Chains A and B, each alone.
Chain A
Amino acid sequence: MAKVTFKTDLCKGCGLCVEACPKHILAIAKDKINKKGYSPAEMTDQSQCIGCAFCATMCPDCIITVEK
């Protein structure tokens, strides 16, 4: 199983990872606010992750680490 971790406090909530995910399991957490004042991206269903790293490839702030 693959694992995706976010440095949530550095996320700017741009949503490019959400759009890039082929499994549609990432989302912007509208009910949370991080230290920078943005609603960050989060994983909704870790078990479905295939570890393709598309999210990390499109992340402009390099806050995503992918393990497989």
Chain B
Amino acid sequence: MAIVFEKPKALTDAVLHYCPGCPHGIIHRLVAEAIDELGIEGKTIGVAPVGCAVMAYDYFTCDMIEAAHGRAPATATGIKRCRPDNIVFTYQGDGDLASIGMAETVHAAARNENITIIFVNNAIYGMTGGQMAPTSLPGQVTQTSPYGRDVKLCGWPIKVCELLATQDGPEYIARVAVNNVKNVKAAGKAIKKAFQNQIEGKGFSLVEVVSACPTNWGMTPQQALNWVESDMLPYYPLGVYKDRSAGKEAETK
């Protein structure tokens, strides 16, 4: 018998601290599979965020560094400029990348830094207990919006892919999801392409992964994935928003 599926080598044997059914584990595995397939484990440096994935450095076998809250793209910029032969990626959540780290994200994209960003969007602050995030949907109930997000008071959710794709700088901007097998496989391909772009020196590649937070959404893991399909994906449509080498520029909607 041949092995069809096993744990990728770029993941350590550490037990993930995430809640049951948290898609962070799936996304970690997709990143590790991309590292394995491209054979870059020995020269990859990852930058962990602040948020649920703060301990990502325990889970990847490549070198990892911990950035200050939201500053992962700036940290990655520094590493990549000092060590251009290394492959540098950041793994960030929505509170990290789209809130406190928005400036770093937008400017890294504008400079077309040759780094890879994995952006996990689950529309809530997970680690701190389920507060409203910049990406929380209109009407979404969170700890700090118990009557649902009021867009007149709190503003509208930030669509990171659409925002970054309007810039001239970035090379590759795509949104994927991990709510079913088909989407997980597509997400794996997009993440691999984001790493491949960096190896080829093409520049800034960001993959937004629409994820779930069963615990803070107050749902079972499967209900949460169903909610991603029914509520999140209509607001955050999947697709490639920019792929300069393939001739796809920003579309205005």
* Contact residues in A for B15 (Cβ distance below 8 Å): 10, 61
* Contact residues in A for B6 (Cβ distance below 8 Å): 65-66
Give bound CA distance, A16 to B184, whole Å.
Answer: 13
Give bound CA distance, A65 to B227, whole Å.
Answer: 28
State how many residues of chain B have any CB contact under 8 Å with chain A: 30
Contact A20 B181 (CB under 8 A): yes
* Contact residues in B for A58 (Cβ distance below 8 Å): 26, 180-181, 184
Bits for B9-51, please: 1 = Cβ < 8 Å to A, else 0: 0010001101111111110010000000000000000000000
* Contact residues in A for B222 (Cβ distance below 8 Å): 15-16, 19
B76 to chain A, nearest CB (A): 25
Contact B20 A65 (CB under 8 A): no
8 Å CB interface, A17-68 against B? 19-20, 38, 51, 53-54, 56-62, 64-68
Residue of A with least CB distance to B21: A14
Give bound CA distance, A3 to B1, whole Å.
Answer: 9
For the complex of A and B, the 8 pairs showing the least CB-CB separation, nearest first, are A60-B25, A14-B21, A12-B20, A53-B5, A14-B20, A66-B5, A56-B5, A67-B1
